[in-house]
Amino acid sequence: MSTTNPPPPPPKLKTRILTIPPSSPLGSWSSPNSLQTWTLPPTPLIPASLTLAATALTTSTASSFSTPVAFPTETVYGLGADATSSTAVKGIYTAKGRPSDNPLIVHVSDLSMLSTLSTIPEIYHELISKFWPGPLTILLPVPTSGQLLAPEVTAGLTTFGARMPDSPLARALIQLVGKPLAAPSANASTRPSPTKAVHVLEDLEGKIELILDGGDCAVGVESTVVDGLCNPPVVLRPGGVGIEEIRQVKGWEGVVKGYKDRSEVGEGHKPRAPGMKYKHYSPRARVVLFEGHKPVNVGKELEGGGQKKVGVIRTGEWEGLVGETEGRIESEEGGFAVRQGSLRDEEGKELATVLDVDLGQDVKGVAHGLFAALRELDRLGADIIFVEGVSDGDDIAAAVMNRLRKAASEIRP
């Protein structure tokens, strides 16, 4: 009987975080009010870490084994590789453990780079001038001949997603590589997207070599994905640009939502039963989402559950369970604090430890801190996390609720 040996596991890599200081020169637009050309600073002024990352992205494509580089964008950290190289792009799927039928977004530094990949239909012109560079991904046709993108980027589709990030660091990296970068969010599949360099390290240590650290991502949720190649145009994923803003643009007045995401506890919908979902954006702790802004009775929720540590994420109406003076674990620099306290019954007996996060009432602030809060509560050992949902709206609230509904094991009114 003959046996075939399984392929050897990929080598465990040493993962390094390289910091790019906030004041580093990263380039400028060649002419103001035009997104045509992003011009890099003179070579000696370019931060050495950035050059190192660009070299890694360029040279790794020549070998048969290739590892992507994580870099910050204004939405979330991305895991980038040369979008024109199959070897490089395959490295992304390997590092992330991502199914290869899910296409990747192609990031460009400027319009002149995008013009090497496709022509931009008229429907997108005003959208681009309004929202680029920024958290908006547009679907473009893959040209029938002279196609430069590796087939692994598009997962066999006739369209590809393109985005020009607002982060000058991201655009400088892409320009330095001189190639568009395919980049999904730099989390391990099923985990919350990373908004800090350490989040990438948590998920991908040993699987990639370099993480560029450009600080916290400003937006905190991924880009809005739109398809203007069909009529009416469609929003495929809510994100950093609000649907209400897109609707203001000529040709986009009738834009429809092409993602399944309505309140699951409204009329005719029973609360989602526990354990019946495919996980996405999920911390290890079980997430219970409350959509209705009604106060939650944590003590009652925990009855018989045996959970020892309870995370609570508040976004406006819920009252704090932990006094201001009790243990403060994280400083407010990261956008939020985690306060630790005890939940007690009427006799004063401790029922559970509470880790309390207030993300504030401003929905942009909630988006900014959401993934970081889920990850931080995981890190601190929460067994269960109760989250107060935000009101559904056509602004960034749509993205917040979309991600929360996917992360939750259970949804309550």
Task: Assess 225 for contact with ligand TXA (CB under 6 A).
Answer: yes
Stretch touching ligand TXA by CB under 6 A, among 35-43, 75-83, 299-307, 322-330 = 75-83
Q: In 3D, which of 120, 105, 114, 110 has the Cα closest to residue 160?
A: 105
Q: What minimum distance in Å lies between the beta carbon of 105 and ligand TXA?
A: 5
From the list Mg ion, ligand TXA, none, which binds 322 (C-beta under 5 to 8 Å, kind-based)?
none
Task: Assess 102 for contact with ligand TXA (CB under 6 A).
Answer: yes
Q: Whole-angstrom Cα distance, residue 245 to residue 15?
A: 40
- CA distance readout (Å), 107 to 81, 160, 161, 174, 272: 10, 11, 9, 8, 36
From the list Mg ion, ligand TXA, none, which binds 235 (C-beta under 5 to 8 Å, kind-based)?
none
Q: In 3D, which of 156, 157, 219 has the Cα closest to residue 185?
A: 219
Which of 191, 339 has the CB closer to Mg ion?
191
Among 49, 61, 73, 109, binds ligand TXA (CB under 6 A): 73
Residue nearest to Mg ion (CB): 185
Stretch touching ligand TXA by CB under 6 A, among 178-186, 306-314, 315-323, 354-362 = 178-186
Q: What minimum distance in Å lies between the beta carbon of 163 and ligand TXA?
A: 6
Could you check whether the bond before residue 232 is cis, i.e. omega within 30 degrees of 0? yes
Residues that bind ligand TXA (rule: CB under 6 A) add up to a total of: 25
Q: In 3D, which of 180, 161, 181 has the Cα closest to residue 229?
A: 161
Q: Which of residues 195-224 bind ligand TXA (CB under 6 A)?
A: 222-223
From the list ligand TXA, Mg ion, none, which binds 237 (C-beta under 5 to 8 Å, kind-based)?
ligand TXA
**Sign of the dihedral through C-alpha 140, 141, 143, 148:** positive
Task: Assess 97 for contact with ligand TXA (CB under 6 A).
Answer: no
From the list ligand TXA, Mg ion, none, which binds 223 (C-beta under 5 to 8 Å, kind-based)?
ligand TXA
Task: Assess 230 for contact with ligand TXA (CB under 6 A).
Answer: no
DSSP annotation of 208: B
Which of 46, 106 has the CB closer to ligand TXA?
106
Among 177, 183, 366, 396, binds ligand TXA (CB under 6 A): 183
Task: Assess 104 for contact with ligand TXA (CB under 6 A).
Answer: yes
Q: How far apart are the first and last CA of the chain?
A: 59
Phi-psi region of 251 (alpha: psi -120 to 50; beta: other; left: phi over 0): left
Among 75, 118, 175, 282, binds ligand TXA (CB under 6 A): 75
Q: What minimum distance in Å lies between the beta carbon of 359 and Mg ion?
A: 21
Q: Which long-range contacts (CB under 8 A, 24 or more apart) does 58-64 make?
A: 58/82, 58/177, 58/178, 58/179, 60/88, 60/91, 61/85, 61/87, 61/88, 63/87
Q: What minimum distance in Å lies between the beta carbon of 134 and ligand TXA?
A: 10
Where along the sequence are the contacts to Mg ion (CB under 5 A)? 185
Q: Are 339 and 327 in contact (CB under 8 A)?
A: yes
- CA distance readout (Å), 371 to 7, 63, 210, 376, 407: 35, 35, 22, 9, 10
Q: Whole-angstrom Cα distance, residue 368 to residue 382?
A: 21
Residue whose entry in the numeric block shows the structure tokens 């681009």: 128
3-class SS at 281?
A: coil
Q: Are 377 and 358 in contact (CB under 8 A)?
A: no
Among 84, 91, 113, 163, binds ligand TXA (CB under 6 A): 163
Q: What minimum distance in Å lies between the beta carbon of 80 and ligand TXA?
A: 8
Site residues for ligand TXA per CB under 6 A: 73, 75-76, 78, 102-105, 135, 137, 139, 154, 157, 159-161, 163, 183-185, 222-223, 225, 236-237
